Amino acid sequence: MIKHHPKFELIQAFVNGELPASLSAGIAIHIDMCPKCKKSIALLTEQVAEQSFKEAFLDKFIVEDNEDLETIANLDFDEMIADITDSDEIDSVVTPVVKTVEFNKAAYTLPTVLNNIAIGNTTSVGKLSRARLQLDENEVHSSLLHIQPGGGVPQHTHNGYELTVLLDGSFHDEDGEYVKGDFIMVEGNHKHHPISTNGCLCYTVANGALHFTQGINKLLNPIATFIY
C-alpha cells in the first residue's frame, strides 16, 4: 500500500506547469499508481481550468448598457456549446507503447511517461546499477537506479534534494519500508541508508551528488556522482 505522496505545494506546482521535467515526470509516475493523488490532481486541474477560463473570458460578458443586455438575451448558449463541441472527426484509440528496460537480466516495464525519454548506458558499482535519463537539466540528474537483492546505498546525505519514486520492488531505511508507487522527497540534510532485501527499481532525481557519511564509505565520495 502506497503511504508516501507529494506535498500539496508540489502537486499545485505540477498542475500549474511550474516544475522542471524531471520532477513533473516523478509526479506523473506516482499518480499513475496512486488513485488518491490522481483524484486530487484531477480536482485541482478542474479548479485551475475554471479559474483560467473566468480570467480569460469573463470580461467579454461584462454588461455596460441595455443594448448589451438585449444582445446577451438573444444568444442561444445551447447552440453555441453544440457548435464548439460538434465534430465529424472520429476519435481513434491509441494503443499505449510498452517500453522495457533490463537490469541484471531482469526486464522491467517502464511507466508511460518515460517512453519518449532517451536512456543512457548502464553504470554498475557492486549491487547498484544506474542508467541516466537524458533530460539535459544541467546539475539536475534523473536516473533509473536498480538495487540487486541484498544491496543498498551506503549511509549518505545530498548536496541538494533527492526524489525517489519506487517503480518495482521495495526497500527500507531508518524511516521505514517503501513499496511500489511511494514518492519519497528528502532535502540535503536528510541522512539515510536505503537497503533492498529483495531488489528494486527506482526513478531518482537529484540536484547534487551523494555525500557518504559513515566509516570507510567516505572513500566512495569521489565516485558518488556516478551513482546518482
Condensed to tens digits (0 to 9), the pLDDT of residues 40-95 reads 999 888 887 777 666 655 555 554 555 555 555 565 656 656 666 666 665 666 67
**Considering just the CA atoms, what is the radius of gyration of the chain in Å?**
23
Domains, the chain: 8-85 (no CATH), 100-226 (2.60.120.10)
Terminal Cα-to-Cα distance of the chain (whole angstroms): 26
99-113 confidence digits (pLDDT tens): 999 998 899 999 999
Query: Is 178:4 a contact under the CB 8 Å cutoff?
Result: yes
Residue 151 has what pLDDT?
93
Q: Which residues contact 120 (CB under 8 A, 6 or more apart)?
A: 131, 132, 133, 134
Residue 214 has what pLDDT?
64
Q: Which residues contact 126 (CB under 8 A, 6 or more apart)?
A: 151
CA distance 66 to 87: 35
